[in-house]
Amino acid sequence: MIRLVLFDIDGTLIRTGGAGIRAFGRTADQIFGKPGGTDALRFHGRTDTSLIREFLRTNGIADAPWNVRHFLDAYVFLLDAELRRHPGELCPGVRELIAALRALPEPPLLGLLTGNVRLGAALKLVAHRLGEEFVLGAFGDDHEDRNQLAVIARDRASRRLGRRLAGEEIVVIGDTAADIACAHHIGAHCVAVATGGESLADLLARSPSVAVDSLEQISAGWVARGGAQSENATQWENLYQIGDTRWDKGEPAPGLVDFLSRTSDAVRGRVLVPGCGRGHDARAWAAAGHTVVGVDLAPSAVTAARSLASPSAALTFEQWDFLRPDNGLTEFDWVFEHTLFCAISPSQRDAYVEAIHQCLRPGGQFLALHYLQPRDESGPPFSVTVAEIERRFSAGFELLQHWVPPSFPGREQRERMFLWRRRPGAIRKLRS
């Protein structure tokens, strides 16, 4: 469970359009008589203090505490002036994510982890009405090494909570390699967001828990569960981001289309499609008149699914871990799965069966389109046999029928559809 979420400011919460950089330049010029003296500095991900000391050293000025202080005193006034002229903009999804985090049943502490000095950070936040959102932080005047700022932020939050926070209870959200590195330094999760200029590919290369185009792709529940929740989420997200989605045929599974056409007189109900990917099957259910929720681990899949669907209350997509016992998905009339079971490692399959059972109302139906994989290979897809499917599901479900469906080319005779009805009662009792 995440107890602390630390936000970087520039490029993550706010894009100031270079107000800080201009204020640095004006300070160098007006206070130190060095026009252009900060032009060679690389600002991304740096702390203000380290930038000032580099400016001093490269301009032949004593790298002394009083010169750093002198610079900062002028800088914050000039920054204020710059922000009044050009406040810049909030990054997409910021206000919504913060509001959603605060609305969680057990909201984590929200803090700042920024290279800005404390006053500079306050000026930027106030300019965008974010000044009240954060209860603690670590700043560029606490330390010039960002990794140490992560330690300081963690320790401040620990004191506030009255116990030592573990790295796995912390998420760092930032837009640069330096943010990812400082998260790694304290063993925290890291959400890297490509709103600050660094590309997704560059961010991914630094191994964050996950990298996203914008914070719009991240739900509060997801952050509160550890950024990526699991290695699994990261792996799937990465496949979407590098475009390696070979399982996605761009249309609903022929077996599902066939089933829906044959059961067009069935009672319409609520349908859950776990592992929905880009939502092709979910859209087919919605087109058949059902109310559909598609969920997927990968934020990029959910973003794509939403963009491919016409806006409708009857078809929604959420970024969610279907396998979590507290996933909050219950009382569905139908669950449909398509090549999800084969992607779940055998060690997680008990959890998978229980999740299906939990999501359905008693008497609800589970329609599964399984990809059979008789050999035991390191997946995904992992080994799937008819015998295993029947063994795993029969405790909690009554098998109504199974058949060989029409398939995508290349998958003929490798697929099998099963229609189950959920038995009443808890699955553990049914099994024993």
Which helix (DSSP H) or strand (DSSP E) does residue 149 occupy? helix 146-161
Binding mask 299-338 for Mg ion (x = CB under 5 A): ----------------------------------------
Please choose, out of 125-133, 169-177, 250-258, 360-368, the segment that lies near Mg ion by the rule CB under 5 A.
169-177
> What three-state secondary structure class fits 401?
strand
- Distance, CA of 107 to CA of 4 (rounded, Å): 9
Looking at residues 342 to 361 of the shown chain, list those that interact with Mg ion (rule: CB under 5 A): none
Q: How far is the CB of 198 from Mg ion (least distance, A)?
A: 9
Distance CA 426, CA 430 (A): 6
Identify which of residues 9 and 61 has a Cβ nearer to Mg ion in the complex.
Answer: 9
Q: Judged by CB, which is closer to Mg ion: 177, or 308?
A: 177
Contact, 333 vs 388, CB < 8 A? no
Closest CB 129 distance from Mg ion, rounded Å: 19
Please, which of residues 170-209 interact with Mg ion by CB under 5 A? 175, 196
- Considering the complex, state which of residue 116 and residue 232 has its C-beta at the smaller distance from Mg ion: 116
Report the nearest approach of Mg ion to the CB of residue 178 (Å). 8
> Could you give the CA distance from residue 260 to residue 292 in angstroms, rounded to a whole number?
14
Total residues in contact with Mg ion, by rule CB under 5 A: 5
Please, which residue, 140 or 364, has the CB nearer to Mg ion? 140
Distance CA 223, CA 426 (A): 30
**Nearest-approach distance from CB 88 to Mg ion, in angstroms:** 13
- Please tell me the distance from the alpha carbon of residue 213 to that of residue 196, in angstroms, as a whole number: 10
In degrees, to the nearest 5, what angle opens at C-alpha 97 toward C-alphas 129 and 17? 50
Cα 224 to chain center, whole Å? Answer: 10
Q: Report the residue number whose CB is nearest to Mg ion.
A: 11
In the complex, what is the shortest distance from the CB of residue 224 to Mg ion, in angstroms, rounded to a whole number?
Answer: 22
User: Least CB distance from residue 323 to Mg ion, whole Å?
Assistant: 33
Neighbours of 432 (CB within 10 A): 7
* H or E stretch covering 268: none
Cα(279)–Cα(250) distance, integer angstroms: 9
Of 2, 7, 11, 282, the one binding Mg ion by CB under 5 A: 11
Tokens coding 120: 């500079």
Chosen residue from 2, 4, 6, 8 binding Mg ion by CB under 5 A: 8
Give the nearer residue to Mg ion in terms of CB position, either 196 or 396. Answer: 196
10 counts as binding Mg ion under rule CB under 5 A: yes
**Cβ closest to Mg ion, residue 192 vs residue 417:** 192
CB-nearer residue toward Mg ion: 173 or 260: 173
- Residue 415 structure tokens: 């697929």
Q: Of 8-16, 210-218, 297-305, 388-396, which segment contacts Mg ion by CB under 5 A?
A: 8-16
C-alpha angle with apex 382: 369 to 244, nearest 5 degrees?
Answer: 80
Buried b / exposed e along 358-390 (16+ C-beta atoms within 10 A): bbbeeebbbbbbbbbbeeeeeebbbebeeeebe
Min dist. Cβ of residue 192 to Mg ion (A):
10
Name the residues that contact Mg ion, by CB under 5 A. 8, 10-11, 175, 196
